[in-house]
With several copies, the nearest count.
Chain A
Amino acid sequence: MRYTPHTAAEIDVMLRAVGAASVDALLAHVPEGLRQRASLASLPRGIDERALRTELASLAARNRTEALTFLGAGAYPHFIPAAVEQLAGRAEFATAYTPYQPEVSQGTLQATFEFQSAVAALTGMEVANAGMYDGATAAAEAVLMTQRLRPNRPLVLLARALHPHYREVIATYLTGIADIESVEVPYGADGRTVLPAAELLRRASCLVLGYPNVFGVVEDLTRAAAAAHAEDCLLVSATGEALALAALRTPGAAGVDIAIAEGQSLGLPLAYGGPGLGLFASRERFVRSLPGRLVGETVDARGERGYVLTLATREQHIRRERATSNICTNQGLCAVQVVVYLSLLGRRGLANVAERNLRGAHALAERLRGIGTLRFSGPYFNEFVLSIDGARRRWQRALAAGVVAGLPLGDWYPELEDALLLCATELHDAAAMERLAAALANDLPPAASRTEGHS
């Protein structure tokens, strides 16, 4: 059988050692009624590696990844150097598990410690954990953490301009947790969140802002932190495009209390949205309230430096229902992959990729001037909202020409029905921008656009 190595002769010897007449006899204590109904005969039979390759290739071919897309909105296409997946994918990283035995897991442990250090540096914060499932769940965990830190505050304030997935996940996580209400904070004409009144801040454990927010607009965290802290409310920044942190003032420098981000942009493929990686960083003084795993430095019996999982008393396997989170398996290998990416690019490479994104998106906005207008006046990084009449119709036509003209924002914001959320990264060259401009300028019926050959 595939992947099960025993020969019939070996099974015999083993059964004798066990004292069982057959493998079936080992299952005899499972109630007969259950066993009779447990057949898997309705499943297809197994196939060999050759057939599997053929099948997967034909499935992959039904995904149109060759199209030109300007989609961001929480998942960002970036170039990943070959070394990143080859190194993180090494079998010794990929097939180990949580490093419960540190003496034979130093590879994972040191890499994770380096990841924590790199995330702290990227966010400008003091501590970072070993990673969460994704940006949205990290945001939800951050909100719950503010509730532990400010236990008597019945509100959490969520910017309307925070990515809707993040708001939805926070909402899901909050249900059932008694008496916490979440309040939506509106955005203004510049696309930035209008800071809530002191009265609201005073009753809230936290204010959560996107950074950049879902419109790509850069919030003023420094002002928000000052306002929140004046009322002892914690400020949480949530970054969907982690690369932006290489260009923007760090959450740490701005005075944020908890900075979370989706790390996918930093060396992880789009993979239809997962696995990504939740980055979670905060202040030293809050470390015992952090959710998730932490790796710390120590020494071995001979005094050599080494790394271990630490502060586990926050975690479910020790604290059970009083744990700071229920997380167990996290996204370990993604964290390793991200730190490989960050190491490879380093200070200069990362700054340059970020600058390339910023310049590219602004060049695109410039190119589209006249075809549409910028919806918001606030500063942005690599993503912006274009107001354009007949947004949905034009989007559909561009599609027929093989161009995905970003995201029609009406799906998420009814008030933005005539707006497209467009993203340009280092993967979009001038020719790609021309194709988008041509596709969006086109206001003819779809059939015509196809023959015009924009694809």
Chain B
Amino acid sequence: MSLPAGVLRGGLLPEPLIFERSTPGRTGADCDPHEVGGPAPDAVLPAALRRDDGLVGLPEVSELDVVRHFTRLSQWNLSAATTLYPLGSCTMKYNPLVNEALVRAPGFADLHPLLPDAWAQGTLELMDRLADFLRTVSGLPAISLQPAAGAHGELTGMKMVRAYHEDRGDPRNRVLIPASAHGTNPASAALCGYTVTELPANQAGILEVATVREHLGPDVAAMMVTNPNTIGLFERDIQAIAEAVHAAGALLYCDGANMNALLGVAKPGDMGADVLQFNLHKTFSTPHGGGGPGAGPVAVSARLEPYLPTPRLVRDADGLRWSEDFPKSIGRVRSFHGNVGILVRAYCYLRALGGDGLVDVTAMAVLNANYVRARLADVLPLAFPTPSLHECVFSDRELEATGVRTLDLAKRLLDYGFFAPTIYFPLVVPGAIMIEPTETESKQTLDEFIAAVRAIVAEADTAPELVKEAPHSTFIGRLDETRAARRPILRWQPAAAK
């Protein structure tokens, strides 16, 4: 007998949309509009400017409704706080709970961004120290904390590249990007008006300096490299590449999303980078929030320093203050000073670990990735046999005979209680399975994960349908993405409006 709808599913509670919980006239939190007197809205706003629909389409629910609704919803997520989340390139490490408590202190949370600088010295000091940390880690002399995420940092960096060349009267229009690059790299370059040339890697997955030289020319403004690249491989020719790029009058952009592999190992500044964005939410452990907020500070070499976004933090006798006095600056890339709440968390993380702790982070991240690699390489083909650092990429080519694809393997992993690796990225690896365990995972957890992958590979032979129809044990079954895109339903609508 099938159970009526609305029933517990394996211990989890179902829940409709918040709008479907509404009752006309109900409210969860309210406010007395008359507290301080003042005129009624219709006395001061002409009817044509007044809202008159009673905010139709917003929910009408009680505080308890809201609490239950979002508590239930939250439980439907797997998350780094509940399981291994080996999403390659995303560095889903443990997010220390203490940082969440610290950032909520009223001294940080209630600070208005336009307060006089003298009244915000605590946060300014923290930002300055964070900038120092990041300068040391990157080996680059100047930094802006303004960008809101990695891609925003890329955009900021590439705007500086453009400003630099234009300033020299040599506005170039092409950017070289390896084919394995993250999609944000070409998209950011394009947003700065550049055309993109894709460069292939060699058989070992490495970009050769010869390839770079081949494509360099006087129209090339910059080369964007990710190092280690998105296959987890260190670009060994990086110094030679930098020289070639510089010799051609171009600049070297380093995508710093993979800095988790480099702490204490190599500094982008030493590699010849002119500009590098950090992904604080990756390397420095701020929670990913289901897709942000992150922070993407951008560090630059001396030659790009004049172009950093304003305002910039400067120190004078009275302490730290914001200055706009940088005539060559590209200007603002967002309002105010950055995702400061994320900067506070990243500072806490850096301060807690210190130099020795950061070195250990990379060492253990590399060990974990190599352990997974070693323990799986006999059942899944590596994309490249080249030594790798903090992540490892496999392909699904040996599963082909079974009909099981990377997507199926990923879905089946959910049944085993793990989030899936990044899949089908980088694009250069067919059926890519990109695993980044991070340094915070224990050997036990890795062993459980390895066992699960091996079991699934075995299942692909013995019970391919089991894998192809996965997931079976999740709160909801495999979702029809095609249907969603064909006839998009992007919002709930009041019944009358439908």
Contact = CB atoms under 8 A, between A and B. Distances in A.
Contacts of A81: 29, 63, 97-98
B58 A122 contact: yes
Given A34-B267, A118-B59, A137-B334, A272 B113 contact: yes
Nearest to B96: A3
A49 B480 CA distance: 43
Interchain residue pairs A-B with the least CB separation, the first 6:
A60-B107, A273-B336, A121-B57, A359-B38, A333-B289, A273-B113
A329 B288 contact: yes
A130 B291 contact: yes
A342 B133 CA distance: 34
B78 A104 contact: yes
B153 to A, nearest CB: 10
A359 B71 contact: no
A54 to B, nearest CB: 11
Nearest to A69: B112
A356 B31 contact: yes
B338 A273 contact: yes
Contact of B66 (A48, A104, A344): A344
Given A8-B25, A121-B57, A271-B108, A60 B239 contact: no
B70 A272 contact: no
B139 A103 contact: no
Contacts of B54: 347, 351
A104 B78 CA distance: 5
A93 interface: yes
B401 interface: no
Contacts, number: 776
A18 B98 contact: no
A35 interface: yes
A133 B92 CA distance: 21
Given A69-B115, A113-B17, A334-B293, A40 B355 contact: yes
Kindly name the residue among B58, B155, B182, B271 whose own CB sees the greatest number of chain A CB atoms within 10 A.
B58
Nearest to B146: A274
Contact of B151 (A18, A320, A322, A327): A327
Given A29-B234, A95-B95, A299-B479, A332 B71 contact: no
Contacts of B136: 40, 42-43
Interface in A1-54: 1-11, 13-15, 17-20, 23-24, 26-31, 33-35, 37-49, 52-53
Contact of A106 (B93, B152, B374, B475): B475
A151 B189 CA distance: 19
A97 B288 contact: yes
Interface in A97-115: 97-108, 110-114
A2 B352 contact: yes
A90 interface: yes
A389 interface: no
Nearest to B101: A82
Contacts of A64: 115, 119-120
Interface residues of A, number: 216
Given A38-B267, A355-B41, A333 B183 contact: no
23 contacts: A40-B263, A46-B356, A52-B98, A55-B351, A64-B119, A74-B335, A74-B336, A95-B85, A102-B481, A104-B471, A133-B148, A136-B335, A137-B148, A176-B194, A247-B50, A270-B113, A272-B123, A320-B183, A320-B196, A326-B190, A330-B149, A332-B293, A366-B38
Nearest to A353: B31
B452 interface: no
A451 interface: no
A330 B292 contact: yes
Interface in B342-398: 342, 344, 348, 350-361, 363-364, 366-368, 370-371, 373-375, 387, 389
A17 B374 contact: yes
B121 to A, nearest CB: 5
B222 to A, nearest CB: 12
Contact of B294 (A71, A329, A350): A329
Interface in A306-352: 306-308, 310-313, 315-323, 325-334, 336, 339-340, 342-352
A93 B388 CA distance: 31
A61 B23 contact: no
Contact of A46 (B90, B195, B352): B352
Nearest to A57: B105
Given A86-B97, A218-B45, A56 B330 contact: no
Contacts of B60: 346-348
B485 interface: yes
B293 A296 contact: no
B489 A43 contact: no
B19 A26 contact: no
B30 A77 contact: no
Given A17-B375, A40-B359, A330-B149, A163 B335 contact: yes
B459 interface: no
A117 interface: yes
B491 A113 contact: yes
Contacts of A48: 30-32, 352
Interface stretch (A165-173, A197-205, A441-449): A165-173
Interface stretch (B209-217, B243-251, B297-305, B437-445): B437-445
Contacts of B338: 273-274
A399 interface: yes
Given A117-B19, A134-B148, A271-B341, A318 B183 contact: yes
B266 A77 contact: no
Given A316-B184, A349-B28, A308 B479 contact: yes
Kindly name the residue among B24, B81, B96, B113 whose own CB sees the greatest number of chain A CB atoms within 10 A.
B113
Given A95-B95, A347-B56, A169 B333 contact: yes
B39 A37 contact: no
Given A49-B98, A329-B294, A300 B28 contact: no
B55 interface: yes
Interface string B172-205: 0000000000111011111111111000000000
A262 B220 CA distance: 37
Given A166-B335, A246-B51, 20 more contacts: A3-B63, A18-B373, A30-B266, A38-B270, A53-B102, A57-B107, A92-B77, A96-B77, A104-B77, A104-B419, A106-B73, A136-B332, A136-B335, A169-B334, A172-B309, A222-B48, A331-B291, A355-B41, A356-B34, A358-B44
A191 B207 CA distance: 57
Contact of A349 (B31, B121, B354): B31
Given A71-B114, A101-B420, A325-B187, A63 B53 contact: no
Given A10-B23, A87-B71, A362-B44, A3 B64 contact: yes
Contacts of A269: 109-110, 341
B36 interface: yes
Given A106-B73, A175-B163, A429-B36, A296 B335 contact: no
Contacts of A297: 484, 489-490
A258 to B, nearest CB: 15
B170 to A, nearest CB: 14
B139 A37 contact: yes
Contacts of A387: none
B112 A103 contact: no
Kindly name the residue among A94, A96, A122 whose own CB sees the greatest number of chain B CB atoms within 10 A.
A96
B112 A310 contact: no
A436 interface: no
Contact of B480 (A93, A300, A340, A350): A300
Given A67-B119, A87-B71, A358-B38, A103 B287 contact: no
A332 B334 contact: no
Contacts of B341: 269, 271, 274-275
A323 B187 contact: yes
A353 B93 CA distance: 27
